[in-house]
A and B are shown apart, each in its own frame.
Chain A
């Protein structure tokens, strides 16, 4: 062991250099005992960590102690509550109300139980937590040493002045946490009442105010007068007009209620005065849907089944055709044929709309920086929003039924089409485009003869995604009356009819798998 290997350890650790030099050397040689524990760290916990300048360890240690502290606070909370209840029992028995007293006795028992269990938990967490901390300490501290080797400005040595920062953090967090754990938090309703009492000038104790503002829910900071109640009735000549009814004299409301009222007014206004737009959308979609439904539902089952089999054989080969055949037999045998075809037509209609709008949008996003800047964030949001949320605007503007179901599906399933189209367009090699330009291609020729053909695999992947996402959303859209296989599942859920639910679920899964297989195979084949 030369001097050289030891000096950096000493330089880094400062105080107790010998101990750390020995430990770090063991870590480097992989001879550190499995149960090695740093005693100083176990005792000092976050105080030790802050003096050593390791803030990760500080937060771990502080968190462990804080949790133990909160359990002790809770134990204290139930203990004082138990004393109060015991007093009440004494007074109730004195008043001869034995029924109420026996009720309270149950509560007393429960509180006493919780007092003990919380205290025990606190002890266990404290002891195990400290041991874990001691076990982690040297191992994490060694990482600090490694990063210090690279960057000497990193924290090293033992410094007492680092305690100032940790003391500030502890002082900011610990008292409030401790106070919160010893108090029963007031509920929101109590606090709203108390808030109103304060505005009316009544006297409320400081403790109650403090509890409501700090340890309960985030306080409602301001109260707003109710907006006018707005409706859009028809005048005698049939045109709609705006009717405002001021809501003076009623109690003020909070921001949430106010804003939701405003949103409802806006939606009401749009549907009342621009109804023709929404009607137009519904009309167009209905025509499309009718056409698709006529194919899927209107065709007698022998022709449809045969047609689907031949199509899948032609597009995807014999193995997948056999799978499709057996899936179709399952659907038919369990009486899902008609519903499955309804679902298929919903998926087909939604997919058509998605491609119709998604493809040009994707091309625009792929080719223009402006398009990318506008559309990408919208797509990000669309993909983050849970699918159920799409049902809300659909219902708000289009009511309940199949068409709003399709619209919600379209919004949900469009992003991959746009994304993958633009991805495909962007990935067309610059040199290929350059060659086309060098031979005198105009922008339209560049798009149709070079970019779209080269982006085709990506576009087909987009179509595949759209189909799959449409299918999943069409099932969800059954909640707003889109019908199809999803309706069977929602009905089974509502009636807690497990058997029927399972059968319908398998049907949906088979439907999804067979569409996926066929579309995937077909898109792969088209690339060759």
Chain B
């Protein structure tokens, strides 16, 4: 998990997006009269896509934006490379205001700094895999030789060796999405925008690609904005997660924050079905030794008890407790600090603490 370092790479400040012919009027009304989404639709026939979103994404982190369809997550991410112009607010990348860029500078920024992966791959059907991957380079007028050199390198990165000369239609969905990923990586951008990249794939392939992407992002250290409608995926992938609803951000936090401390009922509803095994740690479920001894018998000799550290997750505690009658003792610096009984463990897995 990356800790926020000095300056954010992507900075989103109070961004609003209102769709419709009368967006400006609607925006003014929203600011002056503080009217809601329904009223904007009724009075101005405009749809609020993104509502006052502010975000900071730091170098090297995988920042997940999670929300149901229509929650504005795809719209929001398209503001970052200005495929969509905000109605109000600023986006800056490395301190440069994206909204202030001229058409040519914007194209350069898109080509050099940002790679984007789409849910439906959006590959060019008339080009080979290699030419698809080299597309961004071709747009920057990189010569053909360098292009294919770079493309070959990325083909290896996403383990598509031998498929460079195939056409996209010959590849399976998972392979095609690898091509999409390779295309985003080819120009070696600092930032990756991933718009539900794995949503259209079947679960097994999705899982494989998720693992591969996690491994890749660890070695390549790219700042990633990862859009998903699947909380499991967000928790797997994200160093931090933002949950969106109706265009606004409901909660931002680490996966554990979100799961253990949902900001409101909406988030709580989502989190309910999530497996806590990897998200909840010993220190949150343990009972202090004194309290345990007061309620039960003395611990006595610790030799018969399995031991774990306070940062171990439930998954580990379960494997320790499974063929034991004794509770798990949590040790910090060689001193017992707490006890997790089997009952407590089962409750914790269920989500009640």
Contact = CB atoms under 8 A, between A and B. Distances in A.
A432 B126 contact: no
Nearest to A429: B122
Given A435-B116, A449-B138, A440 B122 contact: no
Interface string B160-203: 00000000000000000000000100010000010000000000
A437 B138 CA distance: 13
A434 B136 contact: no
B107 A453 contact: no
B268 interface: no
A124 to B, nearest CB: 63
B68 interface: no
A434 B121 CA distance: 11
Contacts of A453: 124, 126
A454 B125 contact: yes
Interface string A415-432: 000000000000001011
B135 interface: yes
B222 to A, nearest CB: 16
Given A453-B124, A454-B126, A456-B126, A434 B139 contact: no
Given A438-B81, A438-B110, A440-B108, A454 B118 contact: no
A441 B122 contact: no
Task: Indicate the member of A434, A440, A453, A456 with the most B CB atoms within 10 Å.
Answer: A440
Contacts of A454: 124-126
B123 to A, nearest CB: 8
A-side interface size class: 10 to 19
A440 B125 contact: no
B126 A434 contact: no
B260 interface: no
A450 B136 CA distance: 12
Contacts of A439: 110-111, 115-116, 135-136, 139, 183, 187
A434 B82 CA distance: 11
A360 B109 CA distance: 30
A282 B116 CA distance: 53
A438 B121 CA distance: 13
A441 B83 contact: no
A449 B124 CA distance: 9
Contacts of B109: 440
B114 interface: yes
Nearest to A456: B126
B126 A440 contact: no
A434 B118 contact: yes
B116 A440 contact: no
Nearest to B138: A449
Interface in A453-508: 453-454, 456
B139 A441 contact: yes
A445 to B, nearest CB: 6
A442 interface: yes
B185 to A, nearest CB: 12
A441 B107 contact: yes
A434 B195 CA distance: 12
Nearest to A434: B83
Nearest to B120: A431
A440 B82 CA distance: 11
Contacts of A431: 118, 120, 122
A123 B103 CA distance: 82
A442 B126 CA distance: 19
Nearest to B103: A442
Nearest to B122: A435
Interface in A396-414: none
Interface string B129-152: 000000110111000000000000
A456 B124 CA distance: 13
Contacts of B125: 454
Contacts of B187: 439
A440 B136 contact: yes
A513 B112 CA distance: 52
A248 to B, nearest CB: 59
A343 to B, nearest CB: 35
B118 A435 contact: yes
Contacts of B193: 438
Given A434-B118, A445-B139, A449-B138, A440 B124 contact: no
Contacts of A440: 107-112, 136, 139-140
A210 B170 CA distance: 79
B114 A438 contact: yes
Contacts of B120: 429, 431
B106 to A, nearest CB: 8
Contacts of B138: 449
B117 to A, nearest CB: 9
A460 to B, nearest CB: 13
A437 B120 CA distance: 15
14 contacts: A431-B118, A432-B122, A434-B122, A435-B122, A436-B135, A436-B139, A437-B83, A439-B110, A439-B116, A442-B139, A445-B139, A449-B135, A453-B126, A454-B126
Interface of A: 429, 431-432, 434-442, 445, 449-450, 453-454, 456
Given A432-B123, A439-B139, A454-B126, 18 more contacts: A429-B120, A429-B122, A432-B122, A436-B124, A436-B139, A437-B83, A438-B81, A438-B116, A438-B193, A439-B116, A439-B183, A440-B107, A440-B109, A440-B112, A442-B103, A445-B139, A449-B124, A449-B138
Q: Which 10 A-B pairs have the closest CB atoms?
A: A440-B111, A435-B122, A440-B110, A439-B136, A438-B116, A440-B107, A431-B122, A453-B126, A432-B122, A441-B139
